[in-house]
Amino acid sequence: MKKAFLTGITGQDGSYLVELLLAKGYEVHGLIRRSSTFNTDRIEHLYQDRHEANPKLLLHYGDLSDASNLNRLLRTIKPEEIYHLGAQSHVRVSFDMPEYTGDVTGLGTIRLLDAILETGLDSRFYQASSSEMYGLVQAVPQSETTPFYPRSPYACAKVYSYWITVNYREAYNLHASNGILFNHESPRRGETFVTRKITHSLAKILAKKQKHLFLGNLEAKRDWGYAKDYVEAMWLMLQQPKGDDYVVATGETHSVKEFVQEAFGLVGLNYENYVRMDERYLRPTEVDLLIGDPTKAAKQLNWKPKVTFKELTKIMVIADLEKEGLDPKDFGLEPSPKGQKP
Ligand code: NAP
Ligand code: F7E
């Protein structure tokens, strides 16, 4: 039985990836942070009971700032595959916490790569790189050969992690890959990222718990895909004979305004009556346009996104209506599939 070790297992992507790996028969080990409240909501459904262990899913306390802990975990677990998803992943927050973001999102990667070297394991390594690295874009669309121009402390930290992954692959012959993932969303997306903020607020507006939705820049354009599709690409990268770097994207771009319009339109509302501008959500430097070219992933990994922009918006709106106790049918929408956590 293959063993995988995941950082960021409690996050959006970690939760979908652990489902995929368990379905493929892996024993999965995940790094979790100690916190004063439960932070395992997204993976709780994988336990029959919070107090009953799942023998194939084992969680370990640790932190990306703690190298000796990472060393010890790798030495004892000996995973064949490592998916490094843990990060301070919020771009706006990275302007408030630049040093912390550099430490966790940047240096966390070298701590993990060094732990692989020091333990002498031949684990395959996946680095969660990001389209944010393209920042002030130097070409449209962005591919594996487009130069980076990061526009935030978060993006700078990810550029460091990208290059240190390439360097360790070349210097020590590691099977290490960068997935340059464009924005991907889902009902499990954190509530402060713009798509989820929109669908969550829409549900609260319909439930009469909120009157307005305060947003920043509506003109920014993103290439939005579905997180569940994207974690498959991560797994495929580690099944290749050699490590490499791949763009994972849909090849379509939409503005924040289009996303709001689509979401509110699904329940028959005009977004202009609800959306208000709040300067607090503007960034000192913005990334105006992202659109990825996933040709290499299609050719070499045989990977393609399955869920379209409109389908993604609908999945998220429906899931948030249900979370607010509203019936999607009252708005002409089909409920989420039964028996699956959205
Ligand atoms: P997310 O939901 O924000 O999850 C981040 C994960 O990192 C959480 O499990 C979090 O733990 C953990 N973490 C944060 N600080 C940590 C620390 N100091 N030590 C250990 N773990 C820590 O992010 P995501 O959307 O799933 O994204 C996964 C990865 O892909 C991230 O590296 C992100 O930067 C990158 N990425 C995301 C996208 C996207 O569109 N989603 C696109 C490209 C790249 P807690 O639950 O305890 O907070
Ligand atoms: O912002 C604009 C904002 O925070 C998208 C992370 O997963 O994807 C994510 O980073 C756009 C930006 O995602 C609000 O200015 C307007 O232009 O949802 P976001 P992001 O910054 O693109 C990349 C690929 C990652 O790697 C990151 O980890 O939406 N926007 N109004 C707003 N954004 C937020 N959060 N909140 C607003 O109110």
For ligand 2, mutation pick of 91, 230, 247, 248 (most atoms within 8 Å of CB): 91
The residue whose CA is least distant from atom 28 of ligand 1 is 85
Whether residue 137 sits in one domain with residue 151? yes
pLDDT at 302: 98
The percentage of the chain sitting over the pLDDT mark of 70, rounded to a whole number, equals 99
CATH (domain of 132): 3.40.50.720
Note down the domain range covering 98: 3-185+224-248
In a domain, 339, yes or no: no
Backbone angles phi, psi at 65, to 5 degrees: -90, 0
Judged by its nearest atom, the ligand closest to the C-alpha of residue 216 is 2
CB within 8 Å of 279: residues ≥ 6 apart:
216
Q: Which of 103, 215, 225 is nearest to 161 (CA)?
A: 103
Instruction: Taking residues 82-111, report their average pLDDT.
Output: 98
Instruction: Taking residues 56-82, report their average pLDDT.
Output: 98
Per-residue pLDDT reduced to its tens digit, 192-229: 999 999 999 999 999 999 999 999 999 999 999 999 99
pLDDT at 244 over 70: yes
H or E segment at 195? Answer: helix 194-206
pLDDT confidence tier of residue 54, bands split at 50, 70 and 90:
confident
Instruction: Taking residues 132-153, report their average pLDDT.
Output: 98
Whether residue 208 sits in one domain with residue 118? no
Q: How many domains does the chain have?
A: 2
CATH (domain of 214): 3.90.25.10
Per-residue pLDDT reduced to its tens digit, 253-293: 999 999 999 999 999 999 999 999 999 999 999 999 999 99
Whether residue 159 sits in one domain with residue 55? yes
Our answer to whether residue 132 is catalytic in this structure is yes
The residue whose CA is least distant from atom 47 of ligand 1 is 33
More confident residue, 263 or 54: 263
CB within 8 Å of 341: residues ≥ 6 apart:
45
For ligand 1, mutation pick of 5, 6, 9, 13 (most atoms within 8 Å of CB): 13
Cα gap 187→341, rounded to integer Å: 9
pLDDT at 49: 56
Whether residue 229 sits in one domain with residue 139? yes
Q: Which of 323, 327, 329 is nearest to 341 (CA)?
A: 323
Maximal CA-CA distance, the chain: 60
pLDDT at 48 over 80: no
In a domain, 299, yes or no: no
Our answer to whether residue 272 is catalytic in this structure is no
User: Which pTM does this prediction carry?
Assistant: 0.98
Per-residue pLDDT reduced to its tens digit, 149-186: 999 999 999 999 999 999 999 999 999 999 999 999 99
Q: How far is CA 55 from CA 25, 26, 31, 58, in A?
A: 12, 11, 16, 7
Judged by its nearest atom, the ligand closest to the C-alpha of residue 195 is 2
